[in-house]
């Protein structure tokens, strides 16, 4: 089961990070955290690809405009990337930078969501008398 691999990698990395921080090698602890995130991401990449393919088929069968679907996928991807970056910054003790990463991600997601929001507002205006 892949979840056992993911949890195993996470636990091993956590133990390594704790040991590195206790031995005053915090710079390596951050590196282990970053590499662990990349390893876990590669472990779930095939599952993520499958989810995107299934959602893609669903969107095509419902007739929803494909541009909305790709925009939503981009927003979800940005959310995961922002969370990963913010957590790495927090692990390094840089909470202020983590907050700025999150703010930047929120602004970019809002910009991407504007066409969908405008289309929704246009639809509401057309429905109202």
User: Mean pLDDT throughout 16-37?
Assistant: 89
d(CA 25, CA 32): 11
Would residue 128 count as lying in a domain? yes
Contacts 24+ apart (CB under 8 A), 53-56: none
Would residue 10 count as lying in a domain? no
Would residue 2 count as lying in a domain? no
Would residue 123 count as lying in a domain? yes
Domain count of the chain? Answer: 1
d(CA 37, CA 42): 9
Q: Model pTM?
A: 0.76
Would residue 89 count as lying in a domain? yes
Would residue 37 count as lying in a domain? no
What residue numbers bound the domain in which 89 lies? 64-129
Interval 108-124: pLDDT, tens: 999 999 998 998 898 88
Secondary structure of 26-80 in the HEC alphabet?
HHHHHHHHHHHHHHHHHHHHHHHHHHHHHHHHHHHHHCCCHHHHHHHHHHHHHHH
């Amino acid at each position: 089961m892949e979840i056992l691999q993911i949890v195993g990698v996470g636990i091993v990395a956590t133990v390594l990070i704790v040991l590195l921080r206790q031995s005053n090698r915090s710079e390596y602890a951050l590196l282990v955290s970053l590499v662990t995130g990349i390893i876990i991401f590669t472990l779930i990449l095939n599952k993520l690809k499958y989810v995107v393919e299934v959602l893609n088929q669903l969107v095509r069968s419902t007739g929803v405009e494909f541009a909305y679907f790709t925009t939503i996928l981009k927003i979800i991807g940005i959310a995961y990337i922002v969370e990963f970056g913010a957590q790495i910054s927090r692990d390094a003790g840089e909470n202020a930078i983590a907050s700025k990463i999150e703010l930047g991600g929120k602004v970019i997601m809002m910009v991407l969501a504007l066409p969908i929001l405008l289309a929704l507002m246009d639809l509401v205006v057309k429905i109202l008398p």
